[in-house]
Structure 1
Amino acid sequence: MPSGFLFDLDGTLLNSDPLHMAIFADMLRPAGVEVDHAFYTSRILGRNSAEIFAELLPGCDAVAMDDEKEARFREVLDRTSIAPTPGTERLLDRIAAAGLPVAVATNAPRQNAEAMLRAVGLRDRFPVVVAAEEVARGKPYPDVYLDAAAKAGADPAQAIAFEDSGAGVTAAAAAGCTVIGLTTSLSPDALRAAGARHAIRDYEDPGLFPLLGLETGALS
């Protein structure tokens, strides 16, 4: 039986990546940087926004642009009807019935994390939320997963992490977690190449609960 379950947020508990991509495209277009799906998944997905702006727009005020981007995201989120990833609530119910802890480990800033969890009605389901600014290093480093596991009371080497980005998979795997990738933006092969043990479309995958050790057997 796993020691606990750790969840990324963007693209894992909700499909918010299209909102992020549109905002990045709008902010980077004036500088001649065109953001399409391929660019987003290879250069932006799962990374810290300030680092992205500093890399793509040398000499810019990356911190100010990061603040603007995240504020824009919260404004768009407030106007958008968005649901959790299919199967999320059933999965959380099953985990709770097994008496196992859950936590969110995200590269998003705290304000965004809180806004996203409220938007999909999941804030009360996660007593532990660790955001990017609360650890020394963001993903792809393991800090956010190690901190989330510690606060949830889970052994990261026995925990299962759900992720959708290469940086996130790398971070969770480096923390010692068994990683299950969601194919929100990346292919199963790309997720496995980053370190995911398995890849699923969403939490309605018919083989998910036995895979997690929540029905019969342990994680295979």
Structure 2
Amino acid sequence: MPYEPPTHTVERSLRATTGAKIIAGVDEVGRGAWAGPVTVCAAVTGLRRPPEGLTDSKLITPKRRAALAAELETWVTSHALGHASPEEIDDLGMTAALRLAAVRALDGLPVRPDAVILDGKHDYLGVPWRVRTVIKGDQSCVAVAAASVIAKVRRDALMAELGLESAAFEPYAFAENAGYPSPVHKAALHELGPTPFHRLSWAYLDAMPRWRHLKKVRISVEAAALEGGGQLGFDF
């Protein structure tokens, strides 16, 4: 099914109404996973014509997505990734963890953006950033679509690497499911329990009597997220 290609309409609107010159598209991946970090990419693209076939990463085949991500990483003006670890997600909750990862990504850009286009309807970034939220921005906005593809490919590769760190992690099939729910992943959890890469505040543990005692009750430390300088649990 063909999709309308993303445009620079939102970027042009922000330039005209706010005077913003450097605009970053921001998208996340890993929000619904049982294991691994939540990853955010910030991408600055300018107003150049994007590579052919750019759209939301979920609408692209894995093979094409990997090739497109490699092309995008040299095509974009700049990009950076930020991660929030499973431990940070457990401690902070997903909204604050998303903000932490997004701030890390934006801080990683060589120049601070004048404005940010955030995929979705909820602004999890907030002040002092100038944010424009766009529902399905990963399909309609060039910068957000680029961020979507790069974030997805980089996080998938990270999860595959984690799965290869030890033979003990092979049953979870991280290379195939990237830490998301799947029959194989669920079966491994029932049999072997969570790894150091799993989120222990997630509800999947409620259905696993053998491992339910490991579930964490989150005590919010929002202030830690606002600092944006917490340490990751793994070497991402």
- Asked if Structure 1 and Structure 2 have the same fold, meaning a TM-score greater than 0.5 normalized by the shorter chain, the answer is no
Superposition TM-score, scaled by structure 2 size: 0.29
Superposition TM-score, scaled by structure 1 size: 0.30
